[in-house]
Structure 1
Amino acid sequence: MAEALAHEHFDVLMMRWDGQDLCGVALMHRLRGRQANPPAMVLMLSADAPGAIGEGADALLTDPWSDASIEQAIADATAGRGVQGAAREQFGKLIFDRAACQVLVRGHPVLLTAKEFALALLFMRNAGQALSRDQIMTSVWGRGDQPGSRTLDAHVAQVRKRLALRPDQGWRLSSVYGFGYRLDKLEA
């Protein structure tokens, strides 16, 4: 199948990580090795998928799937490829440039790691809504929260610091005890 797909041109490939005829992870790696410009790849994960299985995917789609989550995964995978959707999103004075994986804060570029960028964008897109630790970990890391892990907390602290998500800047990124985090846009 990888050989047949290597000669085809398409923008997005969406596949299960554990496909019946061919493992989606293997197919993803084969296509990346055989095509100079492979399609954006969305890997569909079920609850029993190993933790780091989706590392090479452009976007992860976790079970249960909905129309909105599928659309979001495709938008994330194709960001910066000229396939669809804007490469920039603005939230107040913050401009997210998905192609460069950076945020403009009052016109000044702030470089973030890929995970910090995905985390910050998730918070912005869900401002005013409490997100559970499990929901955040699944969306950004492709796996649920692991008790005792401080990965999420460390990344949240970096995002808060680098993007100046403080009340004096019009934002409040706070923890929700026993649940997760919430980003609020404050009125001027």
Structure 2
Amino acid sequence: MRIALIEPDARHAELVNRLLFAGGHTCQHFSASAPFLENAADEFFDLLLTENWAGDLPAEDVIPRARAILPNLPVIVLIPEPRESQIVAVLQAGADDCLSKPVRGPEMLARVDALLRRAGLRRPQKRRRDVIGGYAFDAAQCSVSFGDRTVMLTPKEFRLALLLFTNLSRPVSRAHILEAVWMRRRDVPSRTVDTHASRVRTKLQLCPEHGYCLTPLYGFGYQLDAVPPDAIVPGPDAPTM
């Protein structure tokens, strides 16, 4: 499922993102409600996870604004050291559930899945399909479609590509890659990660002339960025007007 996360705390957002990815969901992080509400006008989300203080507004104000754009959007509110009065306030504002922050992985995934089931959004894991930035990810086939072509990836290449796209314009550490792609194995040689990144770059044509740039971050990991059309420098054989 495609989940929006409003979380001002970047470190906690990374934890939630990692847990949701491991649970078979994609997560798009927003540091405040304003960019989420702007994005929701153009994209669809199956569920909203929001901090009780959404960076610029309280959750009680975010919920009705979100549902004015995406009617019936399921919402879970994250509350640090929740008090009864806070829980009552967000539930009365329309939240479907609450979670204590920092989250506990198994509990969060169980509550997310339960809420999605109640909302009628149950979807078999093997048939998940996500479209991000013009790339359609088909988990059943481990394939990615873009433009007029479809390419097949290995399961690890697929998980790495999906991880990079769901963290577009954000650095992804090698530790995060190992946890999400190699399922927490720490004995994977660094060159193996680099080889998979190179294959993903080649197969998905992640180069500036196709609108993306996959950059290795020395001593840290990788970052995938979208390249604005006006920033693309035409090659020597490109036609001139």
TM-score range, shorter chain: 0.5 to 0.7
C-alpha deviation, 1:145, in angstroms: 4.5
Identify if the C-alpha distance between structure 1 residues 122 and 68 changes in structure 2 by more than 3 Å, giving closer, same or farther. closer
Q: Who is 1:88 aligned against? A: 129
Greater radius of gyration (CA): 2
* Aligned match for 2:177, one of 123, 131, 136: 136
Following superposition of structure 1 onto structure 2, how do residues 22-171 of structure 1 map, counting pairs within 5 Å? 68-75=17-24, 82-83=123-124, 87-146=128-187, 149-171=190-212
**Aligned-residue CA RMSD (Å):** 2.8
C-alpha distance in 2, partners of 1:70/1:134?
A: 14
In structure 2, do the counterparts of structure 1 residues 67 and 177 end up closer, same or farther at CA, with 3 Å as the change threshold? closer
Q: Is the 8 A contact 2:127 2:138 kept in 1?
A: no
| Letter paired with 1:119 | L
Calculate the TM-score normalised by the size of structure 1: 0.56
Say which is worse superposed, 122-131 or 147-156, in terms of deviation: 147-156
Q: What displacement does 1:131 show?
A: 1.0
Query: Which segments of 5 or more consecutive residues in structure 2 lack a partner in the other structure?
Result: 1-13, 26-112, 114-121, 230-241
TM-score, scaled relative to structure 2: 0.45
In the TM superposition, residue 139 of structure 1 has moved relative to its aligned partner by: 1.1
Higher helix share: 2
What is the SS of the residue equivalent to 2:197? helix
How far apart are the structure 1 equivalents of 2:16 and 2:193? 27
Identity of aligned residues (%): 38
| Unpaired stretches in structure 1, ≥5 consecutive residues | 1-64
The aligned length equals 121
Write the letter of the residue equivalent to 1:75.
G
